[in-house]
Amino acid sequence: MPTRLIDIGHDQAASHDNYWHSRVASCRHPAIRDAGAIQDFVILSRRLGVRYVWIDALCIIQDDGDDWAREASLMFSVYRNADLTIVAAAGESCHSGFIDRQAKGQYAVIPFHSRKSREISGSYILHSLQERRSWDADNPGHMHGTSWATRAWTFQEDILSTRVAYFNADTSFFRCQRVRRAENNVMTHKPLVRWHQKLAPPSSRAQTEEEREKLRNDLYERWTQLLFEYSQRKLTKAEDKFPALSGLAQSFAQALDDEYVAGLWRRDLLNGMMWYIASDYNDPGVWRAPSWSWAALDGFVGASPHMRPSIPRARVEHVHIKHKGKDTKGMLTEAWMVIRGHLRPVSLRPAANRPSMTTAYADIFDRDADTVLAFGTADHISPSGLTMYGTRKEADTEQFETLAKVWALLLCLIPTFDFAEDDVTIIQSKPIYPSGILVTPTGEDDAGSGMPVYRRVGWFNTDEKNDLQLWEKSDETTVKLV
């Protein structure tokens, strides 16, 4: 049960729109009085026979940091256990209503009277609407073109909710765990992902440890895929990167039975650290995550698809995480790890033989032998191409050569994949390709242990069967990664 709910009443008079418009308009709370979306939400809830509702703007004390942090950590249970989540995506803010639509172009008004009750009457507005054949609620960006679909805080409510009614400026959609329908009752985009089933603990869905491991790897892949979308969402406050994802992280933590570590997972850390910035790099201006976490930077996060199962070639010996407040999925104040593996001195140069779509790739050279070992990217250099804001941005690959004292830290051997002749079936190789991250020393040793301290600056991979002994010819080294 949420900490607070709003009782919107139950008397029969409240079923009339005019009653609720006057009741809401006379309310002393400015968040209700001036918010068309909340007014419409109340009207729709009453029509559905719902008495108690939860509205984040009202049920969380916005100027109380402790209350905000506590309630934000409970959003997971709010969305997951709600009978229905209503998404008001018709306007730019809560001041825009979603029930009364503005017809576009030519339209006709058709009077309507119910055959079941004389009290029910109104009108239909008929106007042209482009048919949407590809609406896909499995993709959290499915309400593309709406302000709602660009906000980070709306990401988890979409996935965690059992049932959702979406309202945009033109029409509405409904989805539950079994079906998706447009307003005209057309069923759209099958099959669907049943997230509540997906996020059930593996022990309840598998009998053997091999089956459970396969389900866990599938969830790790799902998490990586969701980050692709989430990393493109916008935040008003940069420090909300983890809080806005806290509810979804709690749900995955229960399903995986794993520890959440700065946006990654403890048993999957080596794989999880092999992300890269695919486009739109930006410095958030605040510290909110360690360098080895995707949340340290702003930008479209990518990762090698189908990298699991992999073979570990490094060992995480200790992870230190300190949270701000009681939410173990929320803001951080400290984070570092101790990792043991093979470090190899390398240098970066603009890639000589990469497709144009990967213009930010660098060739990774052995610093001693001056031979190409792998390809990779630097975290602060985005590829050339259109950004998500519609502007053209060229990759500044000359910055590669300014990265001094770079080491390649081997993490895993991963597989590659290709598609079969049907272009659907995925054929995966054995995990034989070295992959890892690029690091650079911070210039300081750990005060307590004397270990060298490094930070992440990039990622590398190979698509050739390199001799593993070539990568592991150096002795293993234990370092602190911040």
Return the closest-CA partner of residue 58 out of 24, 108, 13, 90: 24
Same domain, 175 and 216: no
The pLDDT score that the predictor gives to residue 407 is 93
pLDDT at 235: 93
Q: Based on the fold, state whether residues 209 and 89 are members of the same structural domain.
A: no
Q: Are both 73 and 148 inside the same structural domain?
A: yes
The domain boundary, picked from 148, 167, 197, lies at 197
Q: Where among 197, 215, 248 does a domain terminate?
A: 197
Domain span at residue 385 reads 200-481
Distance set, CA 328 to CA 60, 65, 246, 252 (Å): 19, 16, 8, 13
| Mean pLDDT to the nearest integer, 147-159 | 88
Average pLDDT of the segment spanning 43-55: 90
Looking at per-residue confidence, does 225 or 333 come out higher?
333
Q: What is the DSSP string of 180-202?
A: EEETTS-B-S-S---HHHHTS-G
Whether residues 243 and 325 fall in one domain: yes
Task: Give the distance, in angstroms, between the CA of residue 370 and the centroid of all CA atoms in the same chain.
Answer: 39
Average pLDDT for residues 304-320, to the nearest whole number?
A: 87
Length of the chain: 482
Stretch 31-53: mean pLDDT: 82
179 and 206 in a single domain? The answer is no
Query: What percentage of residues in the chain have a pLDDT greater than 90?
Result: 28
Is pLDDT of 438 > 90? yes
Q: Are residues 44 and 162 in the same domain?
A: yes
**Domain shared by 179 and 292, yes or no:** no
- In the three-class reduction of DSSP (H, G, I as helix; E, B as strand; rest coil), residue 9 is classed as coil
The pair of three-digit structure tokens given for residue 391, joined into one six-digit string: 């502007």
Lowest mean pLDDT among 16-30, 124-138, 363-377: 16-30
| Structure confidence at residue 22 (pLDDT) | 41
pLDDT (0 to 100) of residue 195:
73
Using alpha carbons, list the distances in angstroms from residue 58 to 27, 29, 54, 116, 411: 13, 9, 8, 37, 46
Predicted pLDDT of residue 23: 42
| Residue-wise pLDDT tens digits, 195-229 | 777 777 766 666 688 888 888 888 998 899 889 88
Pair 192, 204 in one domain: no
Lowest mean pLDDT among 352-361, 396-405, 416-425: 352-361
Q: How far apart are CA 64 and CA 69, in angstroms?
A: 9
Same domain, 252 and 283: yes
Residue 366: both structure tokens together: 């052995």
pLDDT digits (tens, 9 = 90+) for 222-261: 899 889 889 989 999 999 999 999 999 999 998 899 999 9
Is pLDDT larger for residue 129 or for residue 341? Answer: 341
Identify the DSSP state of 163: S
Single residue among 181, 197, 213 that ends a domain in this structure: 197
Judge whether residue 377 has pLDDT over 70. Answer: yes
Q: Which residues contact 50 (CB under 8 A, 6 or more apart)?
A: 8, 83, 84
- Per the domain annotation, does 115 fall within a domain? no
pTM above 0.85, yes or no: no
Both 326 and 422 in one domain: the answer is yes
pLDDT of residue 295: 96
Terminal Cα distance for the chain, rounded: 38
User: What residue has token string 């309840």?
Assistant: 204
Q: For 283-311, what is each residue's pLDDT tens digit? A: 899 999 999 999 999 988 888 766 778 88
Note whether 171 and 231 are same-domain residues.
no
Q: State whether 150 and 46 are in the same domain.
A: yes
114 within domain boundaries: no
Let me know if residue 120 belongs to a domain: no
- In the chain, how many domains are there? 2
| Residue 50 lies inside a defined structural domain of this protein | yes
Q: Which one, of 180, 92, 90, lies nearest residue 134 by Cα?
A: 180
Instruction: Please check whether residue 117 lies inside any domain of the structure.
Output: no
Alpha helices in 260-315 (DSSP H): 269-272
Across 39-50, average pLDDT? 89
Give domain status of residue 468, yes or no.
yes
Query: Does residue 263 lie in a domain region?
Result: yes
Contacts (Cβ under 8 Å, ≥6 apart) of 358 = 351, 383
Q: Is the pLDDT of residue 68 over 80?
A: yes
| pLDDT for res 336 | 97
Whether 244 maps to a domain, the answer reads yes
